[in-house]
Amino acid sequence: MNIASMNNLWSYLQGLSLSAQNRHWLAKKLMASVEEPTMNPAKGTVITETDIMVSPEVAALVKGFELPDTFDAKQAKLDYLVAKYK
Q: What is the rounded CA–CA span in Å between residue 25 and residue 31?
A: 10
- Residue with the larger pLDDT of the pair 54 and 79: 79
Residues 26-49 have pLDDT tens digits of: 888 887 766 555 555 555 555 555
Task: Give φ, ψ of 40 to 5 degrees.
Answer: -105, 105
According to the model, what pLDDT value does residue 66 have? 79
Tell me how far apart the 2 most distant CA atoms of the chain are, in Å: 45
Task: Give φ, ψ of 59 to 5 degrees.
Answer: -60, -40
Q: Kindly tell me if the per-residue pLDDT of 79 is higher than 80.
A: yes
Q: What is the rounded CA–CA span in Å between residue 26 and residue 74?
A: 15
Q: Where are the domains of the chain?
A: 19-84
- Residue with the larger pLDDT of the pair 12 and 59: 12
According to the model, what pLDDT value does residue 15 have? 87
Q: Kindly tell me if the per-residue pLDDT of 1 is higher than 60.
A: yes
